[in-house]
Amino acid sequence: MLDDLKYIHSRDGDDALGIAEHQCEQLEHDFELPQLSGPFRNVVYAGMGGSALAGLLSKSWPGYKIPFEVVRDYHIPPYVAPDTLFIASSYSGDTEETLSCLAEAEKANAKIAVITNGGQLEEQAIAKKYPMAKIPPSQQPRYAVFYCLRALVTMLEKAGLVAEAEADKQLKLAAEFLRGEVESWAAVVPTSKNPAKQLALEIVGKTPIIYAGPLLAPVAYKWKIDFNENAKNTAWWGQYPEVSHNEFIGWSSHPFDKPFSVIDLRSKLEHQRINQRFELTERLLSGKRPAPNTVEVQGTTLLEQLVWAANFGDFVSIYLALLNGVNPAPVELVEKFKKELR
CATH (domain of 123): 3.40.50.10490
Catalytic residue among 129, 245, 296, 332: 245
List pLDDT tens digits, range 200-240.
999 999 999 999 999 999 999 999 999 999 999 999 999 99
Are 23 and 90 contained in the same domain?
yes
232 is annotated as an active-site residue: no
Catalytic residue among 229, 232, 270, 304: 229
pLDDT of 139 reads: 87
Are 165 and 202 contained in the same domain?
no
Domain that holds residue 249: 5-12+182-323
pLDDT of 257 reads: 75
Overall domain count for the chain: 2
What is the C-alpha separation between 312 and 282, in angstroms, rounded? 23
Are 98 and 216 contained in the same domain?
no
338 is annotated as an active-site residue: yes
DSSP reduced 3-state for 90: strand
pLDDT of 338 reads: 86
The alpha helices in 195-254, defined as continuous H runs, are 195-203, 217-229, 242-245, 247-250
pLDDT of 84 reads: 98
Are 283 and 239 contained in the same domain?
yes
Are 151 and 215 contained in the same domain?
no
Are 154 and 278 contained in the same domain?
no
Are 105 and 154 contained in the same domain?
yes
pLDDT of 62 reads: 96
What is the C-alpha separation between 260 and 208, in angstroms, rounded? 6
229 is annotated as an active-site residue: yes
Are 125 and 162 contained in the same domain?
yes
DSSP code of residue 71: E
What is the C-alpha separation between 4 and 318, in angstroms, rounded? 15
pLDDT of 258 reads: 81
Q: How many other C-beta atoms lie within 10 A of the C-beta of residue 164?
A: 18
Pair 229, 330: CB distance under 8 Å: no
What is the C-alpha separation between 319 and 287, in angstroms, rounded? 28
Domain boundary among 144, 175, 206: 175
Per-residue DSSP letters for 252-301? SSS-S--SEEEEEEE-TTS-HHHHHHHHHHHHHTBTTBPPPEEEE---SS
Q: Which residues of the chain have pLDDT under 50?
A: none
Please report the sign of the dihedral spanned by the C-alpha atoms of residue 29, residue 33, residue 36, residue 40: negative
Q: Is 338 left (phi over 0), alpha (psi -120 to 50) or beta?
A: alpha
What are phi and psi for residue 175, nearest 5 degrees?
Answer: -65, -40
Query: Please, how many CA atoms are within 13 Å of residue 31, restricted to the half-sphere of its CB?
Result: 29
Are 149 and 213 contained in the same domain?
no
Are 279 and 302 contained in the same domain?
yes
Are 31 and 164 contained in the same domain?
yes
